[in-house]
Amino acid sequence: MPLHDASRPDLASLELLVAVIDLGSVSAAASALGLAQPNASRQLSRLERRLGARLVDRGARGSEPTAAGRVAVEHARRVLDAADGLVEQVRSAAGAGRIRILASQTIAEHLMPTFLAALAADQPGVPVSFEVENTAGVIAALRRGRGDLGFVEGLEVPHELTTLEVARDRLVAVVAPRHPWAQDRDVLEHGIDADLLAGTPLVVREEGSGTRDVLTRALAPREVAAPALELHSNAAVRTAVAGGAGCALLSRLVVAGDLREGRLVEVPVRDVELERSLRAVWSGVRPGRLEGALQALIADGAERG
């Protein structure tokens, strides 16, 4: 085989294919991998042309592998595992010893300072890398062996990963002070029901975020209105809502300061469960050298609760 074979797929395209099948759609895979959806679609099409077969059937309910796609995904996982193993073996031989941590946005902003400080005290001199992804991105990275420990805020964790609750959190509905709900005394006293919330165009996080996942599942099986805005960070959602873009549901951790200072107003919501678990996740055996920092984080979460 020549050194450069035009039909040979690149690793990034194989990673995208695996993510599409694991996460169920091109949009979710693109979000997890930090790609714009049109670019992800083009990359997947190029992979199909290279391999000479349609790999994914895309429909209203998501993406499913074709017969050729199932074969491709099976081999893609092996190739990616081998590539990750190469990187890890080289780093190990070079004595890297780096601890790789990933966290979803809410946890990264509000809980990670405690964890990282405790980790630095427990493991002085050990290099640590820390990346912020949405929940889908954290899980995708752990599946590919690109992290030692992740922190997520969604409802479900794949069966091949192990999980430990480190804190509890709750989503709250927030609006700008001039929003009609914020000026309605009855609404502020008694709240809105879940049906009204589901029928209201909301300012939401992108697909793949834990916040979006919890909200979607909490409102199921109700028909949910199309979003008013879809944004890629908690800060962007808070800014849009404070500017009058509508209602959003965000972690109480995220909006606590805005509520205290009057930039946002909380609207109670009835008939829906919005509490969630914030969890550490990992693959294989629980990383023993992270135990002290995990326990410090759990203690901090208990104090916040």
What is the maximum span of the chain, computed from C-alpha positions, in angstroms? 74
- Pair (81, 40) in one structural domain: yes
d(CA 279, CA 268): 25
pLDDT of residue 6: 67
Is residue 241 within 8 Å of 263, Cβ to Cβ? Answer: no
180 prior amide bond cis, ω within 30: no
- Same domain assignment for residues 181 and 145: no
Same-domain check for residues 79 and 214: no
Residue 95: predicted pLDDT = 46
CATH number at residue 65: 1.10.10.10
Give the CATH number for residue 114. Answer: 3.40.190.10
Instruction: Tell whether 107 and 76 lie within a shared domain.
Output: no
Look at residue 61 in the predicted model and tell me its pLDDT. Answer: 75
Lookup: tokens for 292: 């002290």
Residues 49 and 91: their CA atoms lie apart, in Å, by 35
41 & 70 share domain:
yes
Number of domains making up the chain:
3
**Residue-level pLDDT at 258:** 97
Same domain, yes or no: 72 and 202: no
> Does 161 map to a domain?
yes
Q: What is the pLDDT of residue 31?
A: 86
pLDDT recorded at residue 282: 93
3 assigned to some structural domain = no
CATH of residue 239's domain is: 3.40.190.290
Spans of the chain, pLDDT less than 70 = 1-6, 88-97, 155, 304-305
The string of DSSP letters for 261-301 reads TTSSEEE-EES---EEEEEEEEESS--GGGHHHHHHHHHHH
Structural domain including 116 reads 96-167+278-304
Distance of CA 185 to CAs 189, 237, 268, Å?
A: 6, 25, 12
User: Are 203 and 237 spatial neighbours (Cβ–Cβ below 8 Å)?
Assistant: yes
Torsion angles phi and psi, residue 297, rounded to 5:
-70, -40
Q: 27 with 87, same domain?
A: yes
163 and 192 share a domain?
no
pTM passes above 0.85: no
pLDDT at 89: 65
The pLDDT of residue 219 is: 94
